[in-house]
Structure 1
């Protein structure tokens, strides 16, 4: 699935407009006004990138033309938190000029994301949290934005605990929206902030198939000649539900689910 949505407005357009108006009244040059205009539409989240492969072989490519997902589905019985790879765009124009020895200041260094989670009625699931992120995004060229990926913690441990409890109590999927606000800083020292970007996540408990080995001693990593003859269960990438193998849990599936319910 590919998410074609794109947001590219500043999270505080009113404040930016007032600052620009003040700058225009107090500055005679047009350079400062141009910088303010850039900040109104400089940074945006394009999409959640898909991971291909399985298990430890999952890979991601950072380009708007690469596959993306429009929603995640995770089993809280087997994960304690959940992260996603987001593609972030930079629409600030290039300002570097080698002919006059002017360095490029329009690259954006991403440094934090503010995450809040809501249920489908708009009620907050958590109080929100700020997490560090990493990535440098080159400036756009012409009408094309520059892009790079960053990993964002969509559901932290406390939020996952809450959703796990709800899924167990209700016996069904819990649907939420993770709302992300990305912040960065240009190499020229200008703070930039993307518009809030929301992404749906479905959380269940114990809805993924889990396979025990025969003999069960293999589940605990104990040596046994028959363990080598068993076919591995193909595990899914983060963000997708898929089969579980007791050998990756270090105990039988029933034991793991019982412990996860506590």
Structure 2
């Protein structure tokens, strides 16, 4: 019974439709940022298109709680993956899909609902852009502080990382995690590595370091497009969500690489 997190770019794809048609036990996991993509154009026709696949399979959709709620989940309590999900959403999705299928372009009531959803989603975007600017500015400094010139050559030639580099990577992720945990007021003292590795913020911190590795391997080019950096941070969130489930459906090569390496790193922690 696979649960795949679906990247925003795959929401209307034939690949997703084929996956859901393949078995009633195939589930698509949708995060809050996926809904931003559906609602951001603020038109009935655009949302009809956005729901064109997932609206046909309401019983096979899993909706994740808002990012801020997931960040606060206690990693020590059991059933973390279940606690990340909204329950009993199939009827609401079925009703929403039916409303938009029957709506006309100038349906005032539906357009008001669309505007309300978009206003909420749009409120998240300035925070994403601000975070992306900060991360983009810190990439050169992180590269210089974390790795020697010899290690940068290793990253750019895709050789296997030596043990000392792996320790540097995990150490950097732990430092970022501690900073984020403090910012969000989360307790982090006295948690062992395996419990810390279950938290969303540690996985996000580790994903940021893996994103840094991709950036270095691609030549350490200055980030000039903050909209693309914001998209990278959204993709990173999808990668983190997918690390709790059975896989990640995405057409983005970078996101696929970051997810695969994040999962591998978490497995190494679990067996370390």
Q: TM-score, normalised by structure 2?
A: 0.28
Q: Which has the higher contact order (CA 8 A, sep 6+)?
A: 2
Structure (1/2) with the larger helix percentage: 2
Larger radius of gyration: 1
Structure having the higher strand fraction is 1
Output the TM-score relative to the length of structure 1.
0.29
